[in-house]
Amino acid sequence: MKQEFQGNLLSPLPLALLGTLIDGRPNYCVIGYISPFNFGNHIFFSLYKKRYTRHGIQENRTFSVNIPSEDLLDEINICGSKSGRDFDKSTLFDTFYGELKTAPLIRQCPFNMECRVTDILDYGPNDGIIGRVVKSYADAELVKDDVIDMKKARLIVWTIAGDFSYYRLGERITPEEHAKG
Ligand SMILES: Cc1cc2nc3c(=O)[nH]c(=O)nc-3n(C[C@H](O)[C@H](O)[C@H](O)COP(=O)(O)O)c2cc1C
């Protein structure tokens, strides 16, 4: 049996700490409505127009996407609830810069990407921001023979559909292992 459910059920989603540079200071904001597309060459995310982050996007047309591990839950809570307008989030992390000098990256996050804005779509109260991935970085201790050890990265996912919680990324599965039980 199926029950009709109000709203979008595309869940779980990755969770990102989105970095922008505003008036020369890094600002980090939690973004859950985010996705790679165009075979991963671009990233799309939804940004409420009132976010302080929007200033950084407009100022530089660059941003960073930082994928946190569960060790950063306290910082995630701050970046997802306090606005850079009235709280300095730049000191929560060690910031580094890559090729783009206006996309602050978080050293404590296992994965980072720096992006250049290619399109901004106007969707009423939200902007749809599209950026081209210019360069990606991963913690060296997670990489072996060009493969990232996802389990070691201790990633979290975010659920919607009324649950609105963070979960640990679970066990790796293959059809063969699943068949064995
Ligand atoms: C789990 C979670 C997901 C979020 N996803 C988004 C999102 O996709 N788009 C958005 O504009 N804000 C999102 N937010 C809200 C912002 O992170 C929050 O309002 C933040 O304080 C904005 O910071 P800023 O004003 O410094 O830009 C999310 C917050 C949480 C906790």
Residue 104: the pLDDT is 98
pLDDT at 80 over 90: yes
* Percentage of the chain exceeding pLDDT 70: 100
pLDDT at 177: 83
Residue having the nearest C-alpha atom to atom 10 of ligand 1: 47
Round the average pLDDT of the chain to a whole number and report it. 97
Residues lining ligand 1, judged by CB closer than 6 Å?
Answer: 27, 29-33, 46-48, 51-53, 80-85, 158
Report the pLDDT averaged over residues 109-124: 98
pLDDT in tens, 149-161: 999 999 999 999 9
Q: 124, 117, 141: which is closest to 57 by C-alpha?
A: 117
- Whether the bond between 12 and the residue before it is cis, its omega within 30 degrees of 0, is yes
Shortest-distance Cα residue to atom 30 of ligand 1 = 80
pLDDT at 164: 95
- Give the model's pLDDT for residue 170: 87
Phi then psi dihedrals of residue 160, to 5 deg: -115, -145
State in Å: Cα 136 to ligand 1 middle. Answer: 22
What are the structural domains, with CATH classification, of the chain? 13-180 (2.30.110.10)
What is the pTM assigned to this prediction?
Answer: 0.97
> What pLDDT was estimated at residue 97?
98
- At residue 135, the pLDDT reads 98
CA distance 53 to 85: 9
